[in-house]
Amino acid sequence: MKYASINGTIIEHDKASLHISDLGLRRGYAVFEFFRILRGVPVFLEDHLERFERSARLLELTPPFGREKLEGLIRELIELNNLREAGIQMLLTGGYSPDAFTPGQPNLIIAPMAVTPPPAQLYQQGGKVILHQNLRELPEAKTTDYLVAVKLAKRVRAEGATEVIYHDGKTVYEGGRSSLLIIQQGTLITAQAGVLPGITRKHLLEVARPILPIQERPITLAELYSADEVLLTGATRQVMPITQIEDRRVGDGQVGPYSQQLMKAFQEHLDAYLNHRMVLR
């Protein structure tokens, strides 16, 4: 990665930096957005920019540029870094703070990132998740508060899992870095409140509507355990089937028929999106 952008200025990636007084560093007061670059196209960019703005409003931060300028900077970085298969992270911090507490003028970082997709076998055999009791603070905003997820990453790897799912002892919400959906008796169920509005989840629901009924409502732990099929969605993992929760099998332990159908429908939707955007360039 050769170039990044700080507050609208293109700079060499290795020289990009902020002062130590930034509130994102001092207090973790920042929001971010991450999206994939596939075939040189920023995937679902419109949705990601909208969510970025919404997250900023929830933290009462104002990006230094409007959406058109942000999109221009992103496309410039894609060209300068010759990105075909990668990711981009946008980070809006609380800015330089004189007392390490009061927000200042927000700083905006846009930086390319290398991305390693999950192993193909997880989509063929299904993945495993572990559970952890945790309620994210301000879950509707995509903040940089990933304290629990980062701390649990070692346990996730040690147990051969791909993700940790948060719950409050009764209700399950989302993954540390993903949205959660279950299929129960032919109905797709996913939480609407108390979770980050996932972009991949949004597009999966679009392609799922002709396939099966959808309910957006709370999911109980009991429903998760008894689900016929379980799915995770996210920018990097896209649509991933889950066949094991802790030591319990999901359904018969195989990737279910609805999961296979939804993965195929989503991939066709994504291909159509990419092909359309490539024609427009």
Residues 123-179: tens digit of each pLDDT: 999 999 999 999 999 999 999 999 999 999 999 999 999 999 999 999 999 999 999
Q: What angle do CA 174, 242, 204 make, to 5 degrees?
A: 65
Tokens of 29: 């007061």
Query: Could you tell me where in the chain the CATH 3.30.470.10 domains are found?
Result: 3-113
Q: Tell me the average pLDDT across 27-31.
A: 97
Closest CA to 48 of 90, 8, 107: 90
Percent of the chain with pLDDT over 90: 98
Q: What mean pLDDT is predicted for residues 116-126?
A: 96
pLDDT at 280 over 70: no
CA distance 34 to 210: 29
**CATH code at 121-271:** 3.20.10.10
What is the C-alpha to C-alpha distance for residues 111 and 1, in angstroms, rounded to an integer? 9
Task: Look up residue 250 and give its DSSP letter.
Answer: S
- Report the CATH number of the 3-113 domain: 3.30.470.10
Q: What is the 3-state secondary structure (H, E, C) of 43-103?
A: CCHHHHHHHHHHHHHHCCCCCCCCHHHHHHHHHHHHHHCCCCEEEEEEEEECCECCCCCCC
pLDDT greater than 70 at residue 281: no
For 63-92, the pLDDT digits (tens) are 999 999 999 999 999 999 999 999 999 999
pLDDT (mean) for 35-57: 98
Task: Using pLDDT thresholds of 50, 70 and 90, give the confidence band for residue 205.
Answer: very high
- Residue 143 near residue 31, CB atoms below 8 Å: yes
The residues that bridge with 33 in the sheet, in sequence order, are: 90
pLDDT classification of 36: cutoffs 50, 70, 90: very high
Burial string for 15-40 (b: 16+ CB within 10 Å, else e) reads: ebebeeebbbbbeebbbbbbbbbbeb
At residue 279, the pLDDT reads: 67
**Are 204 and 174 in contact, with CB atoms under 8 Å apart?**
no
State residue 278's pLDDT score: 81
Q: How far is 174 from 75, CA to CA, in rounded Å?
A: 31
pLDDT of 104? 96
pLDDT at residue 183 in the model? 98
Q: For residues 198 and 141, is the Cβ–Cβ distance under 8 A? A: no
- pTM of the predicted structure, to 2 decimals: 0.96
Q: In the predicted model, what is the mean pLDDT of the chain? A: 97
Task: Please give the pLDDT value at position 14.
Answer: 94
| CB contact set of 262 (below 8 Å; sequence gap of 6+) | 188, 204, 207, 208, 211, 231, 239
225-239: pLDDT as tens digits: 999 999 999 999 999
Q: At what angle do helices 199-208 and 45-58 cross, to 10 degrees?
A: 130
- What percent of the chain is predicted at pLDDT more than 70? 99
